[in-house]
Amino acid sequence: MKAPLLALAAMLGLGAMPTMVQSQDAPDAQADRVEQFSQLPFWPGYWVAEEQAGTTVGGIAPSVLAAREKGEAVANFMNLRGGAAKWNAEGQRRLEAAQAINAGRKAAGWGFPMMMNAATPLQFVITPEHVLIVNAYSEVRHVYTDRDMPDEFDLWPTVMGTSVGHWEGDTLVVETTMVRSPIEYFHGAPPFSDDAHYEERIRLEGDRLVSDVTVTDPTTLEEPFVTQVSWIRDEGFDRMIMVDWDNDRTGVDENGVNTIEAEVVE
């Protein structure tokens, strides 16, 4: 009788060994992660695109409002729209086709890359495994820093694309691919193709976050599009707002800019 009991006890003991080993490994893994956290940059606060700081709920940047009051042309204040890009024939065709139908369009959000250049605040959540970039439209970018880009057969076009990154000192280097043509999702976006490749180099410079952006897309561009985006902390936010933005537009002004009018409450 004792032999079966001893055998059963031995089996139970062996079965428990992996759990015991895991329990012993857990504190070491946690300590390693704490050490990794201590070496990462910290970008607290809520950040808005510098050119759009001060934009109200109406959604129109202060520089646009000022230009309207003076009767001046609206200067480019969203670099990622590609105003300085050298479009080839296909890129120009896509741009003109989109502009012809923009006036009555709605958008569910900004998508990539325009969420990085919008007036809505951004929050950067940095962990050892990934960086989360969140905006007030409930849009989230996952920048994975613990892996390589997936195999091309495991990729398909999405609104945010697939992003992997790594740290070069305090600079976050991000590679993004398979972004569904941005202009199909958001009417103010550039007409890059699904095959465009995006590189961002994001770092803190004083009180500003700065990103150098390079977009390579032979389908729509004569040469790589290179630009820069910067953000400043918006001290008016003490928490991230999550709102169901309807984004209705009421028309287009004389400069071709979408307008939005406040509802009159009787």
159-194 pLDDT, tens digit each: 999 999 999 999 999 999 999 999 888 888 999 999
Task: Check residue 120 and give its pLDDT.
Answer: 83
Three-state DSSP class for 256?
Answer: coil
- State mean pLDDT over 197-201: 99
| Element (DSSP H or E) covering residue 200 | strand 197-205
Average pLDDT, the chain: 83
- Position 166: which residue type? H
- Model pTM score: 0.78
50 Cβ contact list (under 8 Å, min separation 6):
208, 230, 231, 232
Query: 258: pLDDT confidence band, cut at 50, 70 and 90?
Result: low
Tell me which of 60 and 154 has the higher pLDDT: 154
Residue 121: is its pLDDT beyond 50?
yes
Locate 66 and state its tokens: 């000022």
Q: pLDDT, tens digit, for every residue of 55-82? A: 766 667 777 777 777 777 666 778 999 9
- Taking the C-alpha atoms of residue 149 and residue 176, their distance in angstroms, rounded to an integer, is 9
Q: Report whether 220 contacts 87 (CB < 8 A).
A: yes
